[in-house]
Amino acid sequence: MNKLSELISQEAVINFETGAIKASTLDAILNLLPFEMGFCDADDIFRWYSNNPDRVHHRRTEAIGRHVLELHPRIAHHVEKLLSDFRSGARDDWEFWFPRRSGEDAGQIYQKFMAVRDENGKYLGCMDVTVNINIFQGKEGKHTPETIDEFIAVKPK
């Protein structure tokens, strides 16, 4: 798999309705988020995933370009039904929680699948977001400051 810098100029700018950002900066930001994302297009082809280092689901670059049902053969009938509901408009999202598999660090996983549509409602594909919600629990010594003075007093580590 080529690096972003090998595919487009590091200076390429993506213009959004809410502002513009360099493609290389956006790529770096997506890889820093404390959750992972993936996208399959309207033809159910797996196209992209964020590449943060603490992934819940291990992804392989070889999955890119493959049909999503090939990637999930044991649950293909469930995936197919979900994508069909997204395509028809019967459903816009689906979320669930589950414990991490045995042998891995303990944790509770939250996953949400969302239909991606254009401004006219045309189905563009499916995005998933997955997060180990335990990263937000038990953060000893971290809290939300109640006043600006308390915020200013917080010393960086």
Q: Residue 49's pLDDT is what? A: 92
What are the two backbone dihedrals, phi and then psi, of residue 140, each rounded to the nearest 5 degrees? -60, 135
The two structure tokens encoding residue 74 = 């044991």
Residue 99 has a pLDDT of: 79
Domain coordinates of the chain in residue numbers? 32-152
pLDDT digits (tens, 9 = 90+) for 117-150: 999 999 999 999 998 887 766 555 556 667 777 6
- Residue 139 tokens, joined: 């953060």
| Fold entry, domain 32-152 | Beta-Lactamase (3.30.450)
Share of the chain above pLDDT 70, in %: 80
What pLDDT does residue 6 have?
A: 67
Structure tokens at 133: 């919600």
Residue 79 CA to residue 58 CA, distance in Å, equals: 18
d(CA 99, CA 62): 27
- Residue 17's pLDDT is 92
Q: How far is residue 116 CA from its own chain's centroid?
A: 13
Higher pLDDT, 77 or 8: 77
- If phi over 0 gives left and psi between -120 and 50 gives alpha, with beta otherwise, what is residue 141? left
Please report, for residues 14, 120, 130, the alpha-carbon distance to residue 56 in angstroms, rounded to integers and kept in the order given: 29, 34, 7
